[in-house]
Amino acid sequence: MRLIVGLGNPGAKYERNRHNIGFMAVDEIHRCHSSFSPWRARFQGQVSEGRLGSEKVLLLKPSTFMNDSGRAVGEAIRFYKIEPEDIVVIYDELDLPPAKFRMKTGGGHGGHNGLRSITAHIGADYRRLRLGIGHPGDKKLVSNYVLGDFAKADSDWMEPLLREIADNADLLAEGKDSQFANKLTLALEPEKAKRSGAKPAGGDKGGKTAATKPTKSPGGKGQSHIRQARHAKTPNLPKSGPMADMLKKLLGQSDKS
- Burial (CB < 10 A; 0-12, 13-18, 19+), residue 59, is buried
240: left (phi over 0), alpha (psi -120 to 50) or beta: beta
- Burial (CB < 10 A; 0-12, 13-18, 19+), residue 101, is buried
At 167, phi and psi to the nearest 5?
-65, -30
Active site residues: 19
Q: Which of 110, 16, 11, 105 is nearest to 64 (CA)?
A: 11
List the strands of the sheet with 45-52, edge to edge.
40-42, 45-52, 55-62, 2-6, 87-93, 127-132, 101-105
Q: Are 96 and 131 in contact (CB under 8 A)?
A: yes
